[in-house]
Amino acid sequence: MQQTKFVKTSTIIALSFIVLSFAGCSKGGDSGSSTPPKDNTKPDAAIAFDVKIDGAVVNYTDNFPVIGTSVTIDAAISSTLPSAGVKIMVDVFPKAPNSAAVFTREIPLSNQASNSITITGLKPGVRCYAVVKINAISNTGNFATRQFDLSAK
CATH number for 91 = 2.60.40.2550
Confidence tier at 4 by pLDDT (50, 70, 90)? low
What pTM was estimated for this model as a whole? 0.73
Residue 54 Rama label (left phi>0; alpha psi -120 to 50; beta)? left
Tally of domains within the chain: 1
Torsion over CA: 122, 125, 126, 132 (sign): positive
In a domain, 84, yes or no: yes
Phi, psi of 62 (to 5 degrees): -125, 165
Helix (H/G/I), strand (E/B), else coil: 32: coil
Average pLDDT of the segment spanning 20-37: 55
- Over the stretch 124-140, which tens digit does the pLDDT of each residue have? 999 999 999 999 999 99
Would 146 be classed as within a structural domain?
A: yes
Cβ neighbours of residue 43 closer than 8 Å, sequence gap 6 or more = 139
Residue 37 covered by a domain: no
Say how many C-beta atoms besides its own lie within 10 A of residue 119's C-beta: 24
Three-state DSSP state, 152: strand
Q: Is 44 inside any structural domain?
A: no
pLDDT at 13: 58
pLDDT at residue 73 in the model: 98
Residue 100 in domain: yes
**1-5, 25-29, 103-107, range with greatest mean pLDDT:** 103-107
Asked if the model's pLDDT at residue 87 lies above 90, the reply is: yes
Do residues 113 and 81 touch, judged by C-beta distance below 8 A? yes
Domain that holds residue 122: 49-152
Q: Are the beta carbons of 49 and 146 closer than 8 angstroms?
A: yes
In terms of C-beta density within 10 A (0-12 exposed, 13-18 middle, 19 or more buried), how is residue 122 classed? buried
Q: Using DSSP bridges, classify how beta strands 71-77 and 49-53 pair: parallel, antiparallel or unpaired.
A: antiparallel
Structure confidence by residue, pLDDT tens digits, 98-113: 999 999 999 999 999 9
Evaluate if residue 143 carries a pLDDT over 70. Answer: yes
Nearest to 130 by CA among 96, 79, 95, 78: 95
Residue 12 domain flag: no
Give the model's pLDDT for residue 42. Answer: 74
- Residue 3 belongs to some domain of the structure: no
HSE-CB for 69 with a 13 A CA cutoff: 7
Per-residue model confidence as pLDDT tens digits over 31-67: 555 665 555 567 889 999 999 999 999 999 999 999 9
Please check whether residue 29 lies inside any domain of the structure.
no
